[in-house]
A and B are shown apart, each in its own frame.
Chain A
Amino acid sequence: MSSGKAAVGGGTERSEYTTVFASLDNYDKGGVEIINDDARHYAFSNLFEVAAKSKPWEKVAVAKNLEYVLEAVRAEGVSEWRTAAHDEFAVCMDGEVTVDLVKLDASPLAADAQGSIAVEGEPAGKKMGRIHLKRGHQALLPAGSAYRFTSAAPGVLMMQTIAGPDTQYRWAEICQTA
């Protein structure tokens, strides 16, 4: 190990550090060491493990706080068009994903509808633009727009959204239970 600058009042630091990110092909899961509790209360899972076991574009909840969810999505190929009445956000956790956005002429959802739904066929409306995401990039999926993801190779998205009709719940399969 090489040493870097002298630290204040102590030893030295390394000259360089490696940041550990995970991916579909390379993740190392931690866990809950129970002392006096129930492991299920922590709903411990791993985004990449969930996506590795999912079909393309399935929206699998990995976290839930009342109506709000975080979903792990395996990005592979071309997704359907979807829309929500509220803002959603997508973080690319692995791979490269393109987002196409269309401003819908008329939303099929009520203004207070929660969660996203699929849009039948091609969305009617103006093209808003396109976003090219790589690992670590976060995109806004604006309320009232339709969005479609494209990923040439398997990748992973983490969605910040509200639970909807297509949110999948597999807690017993994905979480540490003991």
Chain B
Amino acid sequence: MTVADVVRSTAPNSEGYFEFTLGEFHFRRDEYFVYISWPTGSHMMSVDAFLRAMQRDVAWDFFYGTVNFDGVFGTVNHYGTVDIFAGRFNDSYRKAELDYSENHETPAIRETFKSILADWTNAAFDPFASPHETGAAFGIKNGDNDSAVTRRRIAASRMVAVPGDEEIRTDESGFPVNRMFLDVDQSEPVVEFEPGFEGEVAAFNLFAYLSRSDVTWNPSVVSQCKDSLFCPTTEEYILPIIHGNDRVEWFVQLSDEITWAVEDRDTGAMRSRVTMKAGDVAAMPADIRHQGYSPKRSMLLVWENNSSAIPDLIASGKLPTYPIEF
């Protein structure tokens, strides 16, 4: 499926935005809100929250597990196909049998979401930025911001700074140090290599690399040990989605502090609050969903096991939902 196949209205609405359809889901926006409808119900979200959530869903290619835009609407990744749902992980909707879900080939939902994001994002709004760094998402149609919503996903195949792999970030490459990380040491490690080992002896300043990230809440791969992925990210304000796990993931707080609200993945019932300070390490079990709050821009290492076998092993009960037996 391509952008040309996306189902959208023939003309923009009175606010200047196109309306979109995917399966039985229909999407429209006005100055403040997004309206989502499906055969058994409808839903409203702030357009600001909706675009921030959709930006992550698109950028991560639907990520691991569930991306809840809020307590009603979201997606579940099956790595080849994606469920789009309303009320599926909401206890009240489930009990009232008003929950609704459709499964689509990944390209169909990807192109539809990318088209919505491109059309509904105005020139002054960057969904990846913190609230202090961007203009508002609201109002009638006013230009676009394609460069912001189509940033390239960074994924090192071995490690950043290894010749031929992802490069370090610099002023010259368009990544100035973020205003909240101006005190982070920018010196790169001293690397001495013998002739013939230029491609094997490598190191970089991870903290400086993160200090130059131009996005928030967007993990990118900096190193790979087989299926073990280091996916650090910089966080400020609120994670725009509520992430539901399909595997255990781990967090290492590299700087500053984040508080996580942890809920049951399926019902949304509160399970814990996790406060992480620099140096703290915590697992997020495979049956939870979580949303992070970062008062100051912080550095978080998200550590993932990328094995494709894990979701089925967890779902079938062959693997526990938590990582450690004491």
Inter-chain contacts of B241 with A (CB < 8 A):
none
Inter-chain contacts of A89 with B (CB < 8 A):
159, 223, 225, 230
A30 touching B274, Cβ below 8 Å: yes
Question: Complex formed: what's the CA distance from A138 to B204 in Å?
Answer: 6
Complex: chain A residue closest to B313, CB-CB: A66
Closest-CB distance, A124 to chain B (whole angstroms): 16
* 10 extra interface residue pairs, beta carbon distance < 8 Å, beyond A9-B135, A34-B272, A126-B196: A17-B182, A27-B279, A44-B283, A87-B223, A89-B223, A131-B201, A132-B191, A137-B189, A161-B228, A175-B324
Say yes or no: is B181 at the interface (Cβ < 8 Å to chain A).
yes
Q: Which residues of A contact B (CB under 8 A)?
A: 7-10, 13, 16-22, 27-49, 62-66, 68, 70, 86-89, 91, 93, 99, 101, 103, 126-140, 142, 145, 158, 160-162, 171-172, 175, 177
Inter-chain contacts of B272 with A (CB < 8 A):
32-37, 39, 42
Partner of B203 from A30, A46, A138 at Cβ < 8 Å: A138
Number of A-B contacts (CB under 8 A): 258
Given contacts A13-B179, A43-B324, A89-B225, contact A128 B303 (CB under 8 A): no
Closest-CB distance, A78 to chain B (whole angstroms): 18
Say yes or no: is B96 at the interface (Cβ < 8 Å to chain A).
no
B326 touching A47, Cβ below 8 Å: no
Closest-CB distance, A28 to chain B (whole angstroms): 5
B225 touching A30, Cβ below 8 Å: no
Question: Complex formed: what's the CA distance from A42 to B201 in Å?
Answer: 35
Say yes or no: is B46 at the interface (Cβ < 8 Å to chain A).
no
Question: Complex formed: what's the CA distance from A47 to B247 in Å?
Answer: 23
Inter-chain contacts of A70 with B (CB < 8 A):
250, 252, 281, 303
Partner of A63 from B135, B255, B281, B285 at Cβ < 8 Å: B281
A-B contacts, 20 of them at CB < 8 A, read A13-B179, A19-B256, A30-B257, A37-B272, A42-B283, A42-B285, A44-B281, A46-B281, A47-B281, A65-B250, A101-B197, A103-B197, A131-B189, A131-B201, A136-B184, A138-B222, A138-B223, A140-B203, A162-B226, A175-B324
Among B206, B222, B282, the one with the most A-chain Cβ atoms within 10 Å of its Cβ is B282
Say yes or no: is B162 at the interface (Cβ < 8 Å to chain A).
yes
Given contacts A35-B273, A129-B194, A136-B185, contact A65 B324 (CB under 8 A): no
Partner of B270 from A36, A38, A42 at Cβ < 8 Å: A36
A8 touching B225, Cβ below 8 Å: no
Say yes or no: is B323 at the interface (Cβ < 8 Å to chain A).
yes
Given contacts A20-B255, A136-B205, contact A44 B274 (CB under 8 A): yes
Inter-chain contacts of A87 with B (CB < 8 A):
158-159, 223-225
Contact with A along B170-189 (1 / 0, CB 8 A): 00000000011111110111
A44 touching B282, Cβ below 8 Å: yes
Inter-chain contacts of B134 with A (CB < 8 A):
8
Question: Complex formed: what's the CA distance from A70 to B251 in Å?
Answer: 11
Which of chain B's residues 298-312 have a Cβ closer than 8 Å to chain A?
303-305, 307, 310
Inter-chain contacts of B254 with A (CB < 8 A):
21
B189 touching A91, Cβ below 8 Å: no
Number of interface residues of B (CB under 8 A): 85
B283 touching A41, Cβ below 8 Å: yes
Complex: chain A residue closest to B133, CB-CB: A8
Inter-chain contacts of A19 with B (CB < 8 A):
180-181, 183-184, 211, 255-256
Closest-CB distance, B322 to chain A (whole angstroms): 4
Q: Which 7 A-B pairs have the closest CB atoms?
A: A136-B207, A129-B193, A30-B275, A22-B278, A129-B201, A41-B322, A68-B228
Say yes or no: is B202 at the interface (Cβ < 8 Å to chain A).
yes
Question: Complex formed: what's the CA distance from A51 to B275 in Å?
Answer: 20
B226 touching A66, Cβ below 8 Å: no
B283 touching A33, Cβ below 8 Å: no
B326 touching A172, Cβ below 8 Å: yes
A64 touching B225, Cβ below 8 Å: no
B323 touching A88, Cβ below 8 Å: no
A136 touching B208, Cβ below 8 Å: yes
Complex: chain B residue closest to A131, CB-CB: B203
Closest-CB distance, B219 to chain A (whole angstroms): 15
Complex: chain B residue closest to A68, CB-CB: B228
Closest-CB distance, B124 to chain A (whole angstroms): 8
B275 touching A33, Cβ below 8 Å: yes
